[in-house]
Amino acid sequence: MVSAIQQRRLWIRLGWNDILQKYRRSVLGPLWLTVSMAIMIVSLGLLYAQIFQTPVDDFLPYLCVGFLVWGYFSSFLIEAGALFVASEAYIKQIKLPYSSYVCRATWSKVIIFAHNFVIYLGVIAYFQIWPGLTGLLAVPGLLLLTLNGALATLFLGMISTRFRDIPQVIGSFVQILFFITPIMWKSEVLKTRIFIAEWNPFYQLVQIVREPLLGNVPSAQTYVAVIAITLVNVVGVGLFFGRFRERISYWV
């Protein structure tokens, strides 16, 4: 990781170049994602507010932040399969620390999230919501979310390099997770079975960022859960990477 930090200028430029190549000759570039997501958030927000009999000014901001955070984290999972496979030419020709590829992928996702964050600013301005200083708690929450996303990218990227069917499995798995995680619905609708949501690690990862952006302090349970998840990921992925890192160049 130290080597990757030393070469930060390289992966920052590569990550930015990934965005440019993906949206070259496009008028709005990555802002197309922002426009489409904004339309979807407003449409679903108005619809589901009626379905759940919830005031729009309460539900739409909740849905907006949930969509943004989920979209950010799920992109780590969905795109992890191409982490090393798409960089085959670099891996076989240039000796770079593998963590540089993780940083490159993470940086490009941070750029997209920054673009999409404009939607949140528009929503809170329209509904006159001000999270105050509580909103600053979203910063450490976002850092923890990003760290877990980067670790998941590394682990899934290695697995996908060895077994090329894994990305398809992950894609299907993420779709299921989206519907069983309180993104378009609130955990309160489970009533006495709210523990189903609370034991969902992805729900806790979303909550640690969503709650501060809505002006609420995340519960102690959320912080404990996310810290525990992070520690497990650091140790587990660290051991896995240390054991199989030498095989990545042969797998690609």
pLDDT per residue as tens digits for the range 93-133: 877 788 888 888 898 899 889 888 999 999 999 988 888 89
* Confidence (pLDDT) at 157: 92
* Count of Cβ atoms closer than 10 Å to residue 213 Cβ: 26
pLDDT tens column, 15-40: 666 666 666 655 556 677 788 888 88
Domain that holds residue 38: 2-251
Residue type, 252: V
Angle at 172 between CA 142 and CA 107, to 5 degrees: 30
Number of folded domains that form the chain: 1
CB 10 within 8 A of CB 100: yes
- The percentage of residues in the chain with a pLDDT greater than 90, rounded to a whole number, is 41
Instruction: Sort residue 240 into left (φ over 0), alpha (ψ -120 to 50) or beta.
Output: alpha
| Structure-block tokens of residue 189 | 């609708």
d(CA 29, CA 179) in angstroms, rounded, equals: 29
| Global confidence as pTM | 0.89
Are 106 and 51 in contact, with CB atoms under 8 Å apart? no
